[in-house]
Amino acid sequence: MSALGTVNTSQRLKALRDLMAKPEYNVQAVVIPTEDQHFSEYIAQCDERRAYISGFTGSAGTAIVTSEDAFLFTDGRYYLQASKQLDQNWTLMKQGLPDVPTWQDFLSKNLGDHIRIGVDPTLIAASDADGIQKSLEPKQSELVSLQENLVDLVWPDRPPRPANKVFVLDTKYAGASLQDKIKRVREELDKKKARAIVVNMLDEVAWLFNLRGSDIDYNPVFFAYALIDHDKALLFVNEAQLDADVRKHLGSDVEVHPYDTFFSYLTRLGAELSAHKDSKVLVSDKASLAVAEAIGKDHITVVRSPVTDLKAIKNEVEVEGFRQSHIRDGAALVRYFAWLEEQLNSGKELSESQVADQLEKYRSEQDLFKGLSFPTISATGPNGAIIHYDPDPNDCAIVKKDQIYLCDSGAQFADGTTDVTRTYHFGTPTAEEKRAFTRVLQGHIAIDIAVFPNGTTGADPFARRPLWEDGLDYRHGTGHGVGHFLNVHEGPHGIGVRIVYNNTPLKPGMTVSNEPGYYADGRFGIRIENIVIVREAQTPNNFGDKGYLRFEHVTMCPIGKNLIDESLLSAREREWLNAYHAEILQKVSPLVEKDERALRWLQRECSPL
């Protein structure tokens, strides 16, 4: 299957529907989410059930298969990709558009009465399941927890679950010991008067124990659950993945248990809580229905995970790691774009995938490099309008000098995670392309220079205002949190219209992307993305004694000047761009001084407007 080709799902759907009709299951619909049992955004191949059954490979979406129909729900980032990948069996449901229900509402509003809807209880959030069940009651329909995943049963060559070596992240990079982190989690238990907390998100487990792995591509995590109470810290993991160094690191502070004993442990804990009417167990709002059912719904309190909040605020060691890793990453990017320009000028024919491989090579030569942080979006011309485009090495476009080229890429370093988008034109851009690019740049600058009071959540319109002036917009958030040598997308905070973003004020130490864009379907795409860190701002006044915040950018890569319509820039915007380019030149030059081509390119691209 090419990156955006369709796959015939007729036989897969028939096999699934035959199972659904069997007496031991007897369900008229099944829900197939993207997530794994840990609610990971990026998942291992063995967990790509929604992609297998639908043919749609984007990172967000939910499939609902009924006895007669099949529906795929996804958001604006993936409308174009899904429309190309889904075959005739599927109806694309464009979430976010008027009159398109969420998949949760669809179950109660669009399916008939007396329907049994099958779910794998390890793959649906307990909070979602409760809401859906209540909405189904008037139709006398019900959610049914299936003991087996039906897609697994019809997937003949499903890959095995990875079990790669786990390794220790030194405190010199983490900035805090696992003992410090467990102590802080126990302080949260005290505040909430809770007996224990279940930690089910893989990046939270990795952060908590200062461990990393490679069970999921691009994400330095490993399959594990944790449970912390006032006396014990338990790690449920495939023990074959732990070597002597990891065992020594965990020491007597952490009890290790087999991964597949996690649910039986929760069941025993639930029985104990029933007997003693003890205080409750904190369960994340991203924990599964299976977790809630194992402990017992009367014995849990569903909250946003305190671990996610602790992890989101980077300590000063992590912040410095972000700065340094982005300077090294900038050197790799400068070498790459200088190389790419030379190749295109000499008439070389190179595919989107081939050039992305060259970028990875330059990154891999940097100190502390551990891998990419997501598949590189290397997109020429119309492919740039596909927001999460992933070029297929066997079937992708040739990069053309006379088209806009969008590159969204990132790396994992031991001291930080990078995510950067640059949009360049190596020929002569049109007036329309320049105006759109400049509007995106103005939105990017507006976020970068923003000063705002503590408690602020709604910075998103800052980035959109210049685009709105031209009647333009984009169908994605303006920013997402970023992990520290962890997942490139991290909650709970961000800049956008999602409810969780607007319930989560930005705080000093949070890392977030700044990435407005514009996408002309079928023609070109533009995005400019830096990582910024929330810092305290020094203001002449302090109205309301709130304290004020600002952003510090850490991404170090020039912004394409030939795409800028200078007549649209204000004096302050021009001043910002020149200062940013001077900063890049100063920080990145020493790292590329042995590459004359890169140094020349950097000096030219960083010269003042």
Q: What is the pLDDT of residue 3?
A: 54
Nearest by Cα to 242 from 211, 216, 218? 211
Q: What is the pLDDT of residue 497?
A: 80
Q: Summarize pLDDT for 584-595 with one digit per residue, the tens.
A: 999 999 999 999
Q: Summarize pLDDT for 127-148 with one digit per residue, the tens.
A: 889 999 999 999 999 999 999 9
Q: Summarize pLDDT for 37-82 with one digit per residue, the tens.
A: 999 988 999 999 999 999 999 989 999 999 999 999 999 989 999 9
Query: The tokens of 325 are what?
Result: 């890793």
List, in sequence order, every residue forming a beta bridge with 275; answer none if it has no partner: none
For residue 296, the 8-state DSSP code is -
Q: What is the pLDDT of residue 581?
A: 98
Q: Summarize pLDDT for 375-432 with one digit per residue, the tens.
A: 999 999 999 999 889 899 999 999 999 999 999 999 999 999 999 999 999 999 999 9
Asked if pLDDT for residue 499 goes beyond 90, the answer is no
Rounded to whole angstroms, the Cα distance separating 210 from 126 reads: 28
Q: Summarize pLDDT for 75-113 with one digit per residue, the tens.
A: 998 999 999 999 999 999 999 999 999 999 999 999 999
Long-range contacts: 152-157, Cβ < 8 Å, 24+? 152/49, 153/19, 154/12, 154/15, 154/16, 154/19, 155/49, 155/52
Q: Is 323 buried (19+), middle (13-18) or exposed (0-12) by CB count in 10 A?
A: middle
Q: Summarize pLDDT for 11-42 with one digit per residue, the tens.
A: 999 999 999 999 999 999 999 999 999 999 88
pLDDT higher at 581 or 503: 581
Q: Is 316 buried (19+), middle (13-18) or exposed (0-12) by CB count in 10 A?
A: exposed
Percent of the chain with pLDDT over 90: 94
Least confident among 178-192, 466-480, 494-508: 494-508
Q: Summarize pLDDT for 326-349 with one digit per residue, the tens.
A: 999 999 999 999 999 999 999 999
Rounded to whole angstroms, the Cα distance separating 286 from 70 reads: 26
Asked if pLDDT for residue 268 goes beyond 50, the answer is yes
Query: Edge-to-edge strands of the sheet including 369-372?
Result: 369-372, 411-413, 416-417
For residue 1, name the pLDDT band (cuts at 50, 70, 90): very low
Q: What is the pLDDT of residue 277?
A: 76
Q: Summarize pLDDT for 277-300 with one digit per residue, the tens.
A: 778 999 999 999 999 999 999 999
Rounded to whole angstroms, the Cα distance separating 579 from 556 reads: 12
Residue with tokens 């020491």: 251
276 in helix, strand or coil?
A: helix
Q: Summarize pLDDT for 437-470 with one digit per residue, the tens.
A: 999 999 999 999 999 999 988 789 999 999 999 9
Q: What is the pLDDT of residue 602?
A: 98
Q: What is the pLDDT of residue 420?
A: 98
Asked if pLDDT for residue 2 goes beyond 50, the answer is no
Q: What is the pLDDT of residue 578?
A: 98
Nearest by Cα to 257 from 287, 289, 224, 288? 224
Q: Is 151 buried (19+), middle (13-18) or exposed (0-12) by CB count in 10 A?
A: buried
Whole-model pTM: value is: 0.93
List, in sequence order, every residue forming a beta bridge with 370; answer none if it has no partner: none
Amino acid at site 547? G
Rounded to whole angstroms, the Cα distance separating 397 from 399 reads: 6
Q: What is the pLDDT of residue 278?
A: 72
CB atoms within 10 A of CB 534: 23
Residue 512: phi, psi to the nearest 5?
A: -150, 150
What is the full DSSP assignment across 433-492? HHHHHHHHHHHHHHHHT-EEETT----HHHHHHHHHHTT---SS-SEEE--SSS-SSEEE
